[in-house]
């Protein structure tokens, strides 16, 4: 059940995607680094949730010290390689770059970050040295970016980390959710293998943490609290929400994250019979799957109940999806999935909407062979509550002390999507860092 080598099957649909931002070579990185103005009080640092010292790492690239650049990045963000590829830089560091004020292209910070970390690790993976063993053991629930980052930092401090992951592959949504034109699953896995090399970290894949154990591949929340010196909850979010409309149950209707996961990891997924797909939702997950389907040659339409201005998807993602053929239909509410006599999906019935409310008598039938539901993910409230003393807020998020990320149980910390309700990888890493510091202080007797 535990493994250190994680193979992905070949012939997945994700293999068909090209990288939209291919890695820089040395000359490109050097040229881009030399455009940076190394601003004092740099706004790009403040815009980064992990507060990476951007001008310092870029200057190190410009002076040929790529290893030093990687150390500057990774000491703030252990998943700095992933974040260089997947961060929405347009609304974070690059969006804050002073070049924007002069309507000039901002520094491509994400691509430089990826270049520095990939180049340095390829040349010499041993960028950090682990402290002597403390004999303390920490359990992690979930192997997403929050747990992986926290485990890496705690392992460097000499603690043993044991990560319990219910899925066959580690990495959470960073492995199984990121759009393949940004980063493929094997890149996330390779980064995790590097984190594992930092210290004593074990991942037990295919092991689910539950309240009451009923199966051999389960462990109880209580046993983790009893058997380990501290516990970190990096649960993420739950399954895709449903539309709860007629015709929804059956083949041809898929939850967005479930479909993306198969696209990235399941070689049996094929979409040859799908010419048109409708994606219901207006967020980043909706635009991601609509964009992915469009790049696979499917005519892909997003259907959203509000106006375009009300869509929560980033403008740059919508614009990029449109460039690749995604259509957007706003102010429509789905009422029925249409199926033929044999049960095959043939379309989606919608009504027009005003202020997100249905207008009676305005039915329209939109043809499609596939309907994807991207209207949000549920919360894993039952699992979180199975840890004694852990509290949830009214939106099902794990409540933590903001300064320490400790929960109501003094032995349990938490971070990532289950705490923030669903943000970005960089937020999960930033929260993991706060938790890891507090956990380390506790483990060595000061917390």
Ligand X SMILES: Cc1cc2nc3c(=O)[nH]c(=O)nc-3n(C[C@H](O)[C@H](O)[C@H](O)COP(=O)(O)OP(=O)(O)OC[C@H]3O[C@@H](n4cnc5c(N)ncnc54)[C@H](O)[C@@H]3O)c2cc1C
Binding site for ligand X (CB under 6 A): 86-87, 141-147, 164-167, 172-174, 177-179, 182, 208-209, 234-237, 257, 260, 285, 288, 380, 383, 416-417, 423-426, 428
We find the least distance from the C-beta atom of residue 112 to ligand SF4, in angstroms, to be: 9
C-beta of residue 164 within 8 angstroms of C-beta of residue 115 = no
Closest CA to 150 of 426, 435, 441, 446: 435
Query: Residue 441, interface with ligand SF4 (CB under 6 A)?
Result: no
We find the least distance from the C-beta atom of residue 100 to ligand SF4, in angstroms, to be: 9
Alpha-carbon distance 411 to 302, whole Å? 44
442 phi and psi angles, rounded to 5 deg: -65, -45
We find the least distance from the C-beta atom of residue 90 to ligand X, in angstroms, to be: 12
Query: Residue 169, interface with ligand SF4 (CB under 6 A)?
Result: no
C-beta of residue 350 within 8 angstroms of C-beta of residue 320 = no
Question: In the complex with ligand SF4, which residue's Cβ is closer, 43 or 421?
Answer: 43
Stretch that binds ligand SF4, among 33-41, 191-199, 225-233, 394-402 (CB under 6 A): 33-41
Tokens of 419: 């705490």
Q: With CB cut-offs between 5 and 8 Å by kind, which of ligand SF4, ligand X, none does residue 442 bind? A: none
Site for ligand SF4 in 72-101 (CB under 6 A): 97-99
DSSP-assigned beta bridge partners for residue 336: 246, 349
| C-alpha 58 chain-centroid distance | 25
Query: Residue 39, interface with ligand SF4 (CB under 6 A)?
Result: yes
Question: In the complex with ligand SF4, which residue's Cβ is closer, 42 or 278?
Answer: 42
Around Cβ 112, how many Cβ atoms within 10 Å?
A: 24
Stretch that binds ligand SF4, among 37-45, 149-157, 191-199, 224-232 (CB under 6 A): 37-45
Answer for which of 17, 32, 48, 55 binds ligand SF4 (CB under 6 A) is: 55
Long-range contacts of 206-211 (CB under 8 A, 24+ apart): 206/1, 206/165, 206/166, 206/167, 206/168, 207/1, 207/164, 207/165, 207/166, 208/164, 208/166, 209/141, 209/164, 209/166, 209/383, 210/383, 210/386, 211/382, 211/383, 211/385, 211/386
State the DSSP string of 248-260: -SSTTEEEHHHHH
Q: With CB cut-offs between 5 and 8 Å by kind, which of ligand SF4, ligand X, none does residue 97 bind? A: ligand SF4
Closest CA to 344 of 313, 370, 312: 370
Site string for ligand SF4, 98-127 (x = CB under 6 A): xx-------x-x------------------
We find the least distance from the C-beta atom of residue 89 to ligand SF4, in angstroms, to be: 10
Question: In the complex with ligand X, which residue's Cβ is closer, 113 or 285?
Answer: 285
Query: Residue 325, interface with ligand SF4 (CB under 6 A)?
Result: no
Query: Residue 206, interface with ligand SF4 (CB under 6 A)?
Result: no
C-beta of residue 304 within 8 angstroms of C-beta of residue 326 = no
Residue count, binding to ligand SF4 (CB under 6 A): 14
């Amino acid at each position: 059940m535990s493994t250190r080598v994680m193979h992905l099957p070949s012939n997945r649909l994700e293999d068909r995607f090209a990288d939209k931002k291919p890695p820089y070579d040395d000359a490109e990185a050097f040229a881009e680094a030399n455009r940076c103005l190394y601003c004092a009080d740099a706004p790009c640092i403040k815009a980064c949730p992990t507060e990476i010292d951007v001008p310092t790492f870029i200057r190190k690239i410009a002076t040929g010290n790529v290893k030093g650049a990687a150390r500057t990045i990774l000491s703030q963000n252990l998943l700095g390689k992933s974040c260089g590829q997947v961060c929405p830089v347009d609304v974070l560091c690059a969006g804050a770059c002073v070049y924007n004020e002069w309507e000039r292209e901002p520094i491509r910070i994400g691509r430089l970050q990826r270049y520095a970390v990939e180049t340095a690790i390829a040349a010499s993976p041993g960028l950090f040295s682990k402290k002597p063993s403390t004999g303390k053991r920490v359990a992690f629930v979930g192997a997403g970016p929050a747990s992986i980052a926290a485990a890496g930092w705690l392992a460097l401090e000499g603690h043993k980390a044991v990560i319990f992951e219910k899925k066959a592959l580690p990495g959470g949504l960073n492995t199984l959710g990121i759009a393949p034109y940004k980063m493929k699953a094997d890149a996330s896995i390779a980064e995790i293998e590097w984190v594992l090399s930092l210290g004593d970290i074990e991942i037990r894949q295919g092991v689910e943490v539950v309240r009451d154990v009923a199966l051999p591949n389960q462990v109880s929340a209580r046993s983790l609290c009893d058997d380990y010196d501290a516990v970190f909850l990096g649960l993420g979010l739950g399954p895709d929400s449903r539309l709860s409309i007629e015709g929804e149950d059956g083949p041809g209707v898929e939850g967005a994250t479930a479909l993306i996961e198969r696209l990235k990891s399941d070689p049996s997924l094929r979409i040859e019979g799908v010419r048109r797909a409708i994606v219901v939702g207006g967020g980043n997950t909706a635009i991601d799957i609509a964009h992915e389907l469009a790049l696979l040659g499917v005519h892909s339409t997003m259907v959203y109940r509000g106006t375009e201005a009300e869509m929560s998807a980033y403008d740059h993602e919508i614009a990029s999806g449109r460039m690749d053929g995604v259509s957007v239909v706003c102010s429509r509410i789905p009422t029925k999935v249409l199926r033929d006599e044999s049960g095959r999906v043939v379309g989606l019935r919608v009504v027009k909407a005003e202020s997100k409310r249905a207008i009676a008598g305005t039915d329209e039938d939109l043809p499609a062979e596939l309907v994807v539901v991207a209207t949000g993910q549920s919360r894993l409230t039952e699992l979180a509550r199975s840890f004694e003393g852990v509290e949830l807020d009214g939106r099902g998020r794990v409540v933590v002390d903001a300064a320490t990320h400790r929960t109501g149980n003094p032995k349990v910390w938490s971070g990532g999507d289950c705490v923030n309700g669903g943000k970005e990888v960089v937020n999960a890493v930033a929260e993991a860092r706060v938790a890891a510091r507090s956990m380390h202080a506790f483990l060595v007797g000061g917390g």
